[in-house]
């Protein structure tokens, strides 16, 4: 390249950067970015105690409950093909009929203490409850609408007793809130006319009032899980949503709000126009999991998962594949191994009871957690080469490594490939620590742990590795011999 060409290229690059400002990335390498008033307000993870606690939950419980548990996926004998909580949007069901269902809502068998005990027995460290779903029905008595629990035959608040009961079991409570509200007259998906804009202003005021009302009523709320923020109308509300999020953060210091709440100046959601995460964690993993660590881009995240394919609220008949506890535990472990939380959804029926399939899962997941919880709580990613037998997790505090084995090889030989200069000090089964394994070194940094296949453990089994880093390779060899 001639000098002239070099000058030209440099000038072109400078030109490309025109109008951009320099920002700092978490690792302090400079990067260019476009100026945003309502973009990400923080680069990198939050490191305060409330967020540390969130990061270490591992397992959460989601509950979808509302008047859709009455229709339960069926209207006048016809099955609605979608998620039961979306039935109001179905052409076969008149919205006027749906909007009368609350007059029958009387969950007389609602027992928040037993709900909380079940969640605790499963091993959930936090729970997220639908205070208001897309239909607009409020499970708390709201000052700002009549379409709430106070107007039902049941009358009493449902959220307060849940917060109290779960807190009493040591489970943190998070509030789900759908911004999209099919019941509010001012709600719009698009703002096409001046009339739309006027109506939407009313809706924004109402939304703000309700969110602040919730935080005022339930000051122990640890965070908010927003939903229904995908419409064009909301995507124009960067300024309003940013201010409202600040208000929430002022009301409850340390409150945790995911990436689904506010759009940026250009209407981008989750990640702003520079690709930086907005909010405290990525809230985009709904009914799907990241494949590998690259997919989570160094951010905190949660995965919310249904037991059947796509049912959140109660449905009278789960169709299609219903996940087993084995599959769900695998999803939980995979989430933790990729630095995320796994939140499993439950949909109680109109009376406030959990279906048998769900009760079975509380028990089966709980039984597994009772023995193996150490591999979940406080654990995250380990950068060792992934093996086909399952997933590694690593305790962020103790540094202990867990091999969670979902595919036990027929000969019981579990391969481990360590980074250089890592020594396997002690390897044993979590449920019986006296069962010590002596890894067979088959190549440099490559081992087999031989699991006794004639004494099968109840799968998925967990093997603990206590390891240390050695200074020189010679030392590794020396220590391996002893």
Binding footprint of ligand LM5 on the chain (CB under 6 A) = 83, 85, 227, 286, 304, 312
Name every residue whose Cβ is closer than 8 Å to that of residue 218 and which is 6 or more positions away in sequence: 159, 160, 163, 173, 175
Minimum Å gap between C-beta 119 and ligand LM5 is 17
Q: Closest CB to ligand LM5 belongs to which residue?
A: 286
Minimum Å gap between C-beta 126 and ligand LM5 is 15
Residue 45 CA to residue 51 CA, distance in Å, equals 9
Q: Report how far apart the first and last C-alpha atoms of the chain are (Å, whole number).
A: 60
CB 164 within 8 A of CB 117: no
Residue 469, SS3 per DSSP: strand
Minimum Å gap between C-beta 228 and ligand LM5 is 7
Minimum Å gap between C-beta 280 and ligand LM5 is 17
CB 407 within 8 A of CB 460: no
CB 98 within 8 A of CB 88: yes
Minimum Å gap between C-beta 42 and ligand LM5 is 23
Q: Which is nearer to ligand LM5, 142 or 345 (CB)?
A: 345
Q: Which is nearer to ligand LM5, 85 or 152 (CB)?
A: 85
Q: Which is nearer to ligand LM5, 310 or 470 (CB)?
A: 310
Q: Which is nearer to ligand LM5, 68 or 354 (CB)?
A: 68
Minimum Å gap between C-beta 86 and ligand LM5 is 6
CB 102 within 8 A of CB 68: no
Residue 288 burial class via C-beta count within 10 angstroms: exposed 0-12, middle 13-18, buried 19 and up: exposed
CB 316 within 8 A of CB 72: yes
**The total number of residues written for the chain in this structure:** 482
Minimum Å gap between C-beta 304 and ligand LM5 is 5
Q: Which is nearer to ligand LM5, 301 or 451 (CB)?
A: 301
Q: Which is nearer to ligand LM5, 262 or 400 (CB)?
A: 262
Q: Which is nearer to ligand LM5, 83 or 296 (CB)?
A: 83
Tokens of 7: 């000058």
Minimum Å gap between C-beta 83 and ligand LM5 is 6
Other Cβ atoms within 10 Å of 387 Cβ, number: 16
CB 214 within 8 A of CB 140: yes
Nearest C-alpha neighbor of 339 from the set 391, 296, 392, 369 = 296
Q: Residue for token digits 């509030």?
A: 175
Backbone angles phi and psi of 390, in degrees to 5 = 160, -130
Q: Which is nearer to ligand LM5, 288 or 444 (CB)?
A: 288
CB 452 within 8 A of CB 466: no
Minimum Å gap between C-beta 354 and ligand LM5 is 18
Q: Which is nearer to ligand LM5, 279 or 366 (CB)?
A: 279
Residue 379 CA to residue 375 CA, distance in Å, equals 6
Residue 268 CA to residue 275 CA, distance in Å, equals 9
Q: Which is nearer to ligand LM5, 113 or 310 (CB)?
A: 310
Minimum Å gap between C-beta 372 and ligand LM5 is 27
């Amino acid at each position: 390249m001639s000098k002239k060409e070099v000058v030209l290229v440099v000038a072109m690059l400078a030109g490309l950067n025109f109008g951009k400002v320099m920002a700092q990335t978490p690792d302090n390498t400079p990067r260019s970015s476009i100026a945003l008033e309502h973009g990400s307000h923080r680069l990198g993870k939050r490191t305060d105690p409330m967020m540390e606690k969130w990061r270490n939950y591992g397992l959460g419980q989601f509950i979808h409950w509302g008047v859709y548990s009455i229709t339960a996926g069926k209207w006048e004998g016809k099955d609605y093909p979608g998620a039961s909580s979306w039935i109001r949007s179905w052409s076969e069901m008149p919205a006027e009929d749906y909007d009368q269902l609350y007059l029958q809502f009387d969950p007389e068998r609602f027992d928040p203490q037993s709900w909380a005990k079940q969640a605790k027995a499963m091993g959930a460290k936090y729970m997220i409850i639908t205070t208001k779903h897309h239909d607009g029905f409020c499970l708390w008595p709201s000052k700002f609408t009549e379409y709430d629990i106070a107007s039902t035959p049941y009358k009493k608040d449902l959220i307060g007793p849940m917060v109290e009961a779960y807190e009493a079991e040591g489970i943190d409570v998070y509030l789900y809130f759908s911004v999209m509200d099919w019941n509010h007259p001012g709600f719009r998906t698009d703002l096409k006319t001046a009339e739309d804009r006027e109506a939407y202003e009313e809706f924004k005021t109402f939304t703000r009032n309700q969110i602040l009302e919730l935080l005022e009523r339930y000051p122990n709320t640890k965070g908010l899980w927003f939903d229904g923020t995908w419409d064009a109308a909301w995507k124009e509300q960067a300024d309003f949503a940013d201010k409202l999020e600040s208000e929430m953060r002022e009301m409850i210091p340390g409150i945790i709000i995911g990436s689904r709440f506010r759009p940026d100046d250009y209407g981008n959601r989750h990640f702003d126009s520079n690709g930086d995460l907005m909010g405290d964690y990525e809230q985009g993993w709904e009914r799907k999991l990241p494949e590998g660590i690259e997919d989570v881009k160094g951010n905190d995240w949660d995965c919310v998962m249904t037991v059947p394919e796509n049912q959140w609220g109660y449905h009278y008949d789960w169709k299609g594949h219903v996940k087993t506890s084995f599959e769900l535990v695998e999803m939980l472990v995979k989430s933790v191994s990729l630095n995320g939380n796994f939140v499993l959804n439950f949909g109680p029926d109109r009376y406030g009871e959990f279906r048998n399939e769900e009760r079975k899962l509380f028990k089966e997941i709980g039984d597994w957690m009772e023995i193996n919880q150490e591999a979940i709580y406080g654990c995250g990613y380990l950068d060792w080469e992934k093996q086909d037998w399952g997933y590694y997790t690593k305790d962020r505090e103790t540094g202990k490594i867990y091999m969670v084995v979902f595919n036990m090889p027929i000969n019981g030989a579990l391969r481990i490939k360590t980074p250089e200069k890592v020594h396997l000090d002690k390897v044993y089964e979590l449920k019986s620590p006296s069962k010590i394994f002596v890894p067979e070194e088959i190549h440099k940094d490559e081992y087999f742990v031989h699991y006794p296949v004639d004494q099968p453990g109840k799968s998925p089994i967990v093997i603990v590795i206590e390891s240390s880093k050695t200074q020189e390779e010679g030392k590794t060899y020396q220590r391996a011999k002893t």
